[in-house]
Amino acid sequence: MTSILTNSSAMSALATLRNINTDLANTQDRVSSGYRVGEAADNVAYWSISTTMNSDNKALNSAKDALGVGAAKVDTAYAAVESSIEVVNEIKAKLVTASETSTDKDQIQLEITKLQEQLSAVAQAASFSGENWAISGSNTGTSGTVVDGFIREDSGSVKITTAEVTLASIAMFSTLSADGAGEGGILGTVMDIELTSGSSQTDIDGFMDDVETALSSLTDAGAVLGALTTRIDLQDDFASTLSDAIESGVSRLVDADMEEESAKLSALQTQQQLAVQSLSIANSSSQNILSLFQ
């Protein structure tokens, strides 16, 4: 039966066209944005996971940037330790020279004094971004810290991880005197060396013991800083790898397969044209009834 009030064919064709237009709009959106899951309505679970992981990845990248600051602090402290070892070795050589009875110990002391001043200058210069690990008294805490990571635990809580080093074990000096001379710390006894014309070999041997102890402590400090540098480098590499892995994992969840979407877009455009043609044919069927009244 043909009715001029209800055109079932046209209604069916129109419903098909609407569905095709909806699918076409979704596909075009995926092609233009590159996302298969661009908002929560697309896939609640995947959207939730990707949003959380993208946030964590940004935090991880920030921690990676902080590693650069930490590495600079460690490198600065290590440079100070390395330079101090060279200066202390020079003081050691002067003391060996002073062991010769014919030498002028007062003149040698003048050289040692300049080397002691150099040690103080090195310690004062070993500052990065207002933090000086070479002088423990300039820090409010007892540990030097370096941010090295960001962790999301199984419980869902997050935390920042840090690498720490005890400043007292690496600090060249504890404090600086009013005139800028270093006091206490690893090099405190070296700063107390003072030769005079009346200094005996026993005095010189005592100074040599102080120098050897200081060199041993400086070597240990350099080892601590070197190990921390190695950890920072490893953590930096790991953070880069982890960030790439997170980004790749999120991509698998939410990124659109452009080859698939491109093929789907072409197919839907063809279906749209056919649906429009079908609707046109269905609408024209009512007009054919006019021929029955001619």
pLDDT(119) > 80: yes
Reported as a single tens digit per residue, the pLDDT across 43-89 is 888 888 888 888 888 888 887 888 888 889 899 999 999 999 999 99
On whether residue 14 sits in a domain, the answer given is: no
On whether residue 160 sits in a domain, the answer given is: yes
On whether residue 22 sits in a domain, the answer given is: no
- Residue 49 and residue 253 in contact, taking contact as beta carbons nearer than 8 Å: yes
Give the model's pLDDT for residue 140.
Answer: 45
On whether residue 287 sits in a domain, the answer given is: no
Share of the chain above pLDDT 90, in %: 27
On whether residue 192 sits in a domain, the answer given is: yes
- The phi and psi torsions of 182 (rounded to 5 degrees) equal -70, 145
Instruction: For residues 83 and 101, give the distance between their C-alpha atoms in angstroms, rounded to a whole number.
Output: 30
Q: Name the 3-class secondary structure at 168.
A: helix
Angle subtended by helix axes 201-254 and 44-98, to nearest 10: 170
On whether residue 265 sits in a domain, the answer given is: no
- Where residue 255 falls (left for φ over 0; alpha for ψ -120 to 50; beta otherwise) is beta
User: What's 249's domain CATH number?
Assistant: 1.20.1330.10
For residue 32, give the amino acid letter. S
Domains identified in the chain, total number: 1
Cα angle 25, 26, 27 (rounded to 5 degrees) comes to 90
Instruction: For residues 77 and 231, give the distance between their C-alpha atoms in angstroms, rounded to a whole number.
Output: 16
pLDDT band at 5 (very low <50, low <70, confident <90, very high): low
On whether residue 163 sits in a domain, the answer given is: yes
pLDDT(182) > 60: yes
Angle subtended by helix axes 105-125 and 44-98, to nearest 10: 170
Supply the range of the domain harboring residue 212.
65-254
- Where residue 193 falls (left for φ over 0; alpha for ψ -120 to 50; beta otherwise) is beta
Reported as a single tens digit per residue, the pLDDT across 212-263 is 999 999 999 999 999 888 888 888 888 888 888 888 888 888 888 788 878 8
What's the Rg (C-alpha) of the chain? 39
On whether residue 245 sits in a domain, the answer given is: yes
**Distance between start and end Cα atoms, the chain:** 19
Instruction: For residues 193 and 186, give the distance between their C-alpha atoms in angstroms, rounded to a whole number.
Output: 14
Q: Name the 3-class secondary structure at 147.
A: strand
- Residue 53 and residue 246 in contact, taking contact as beta carbons nearer than 8 Å: yes
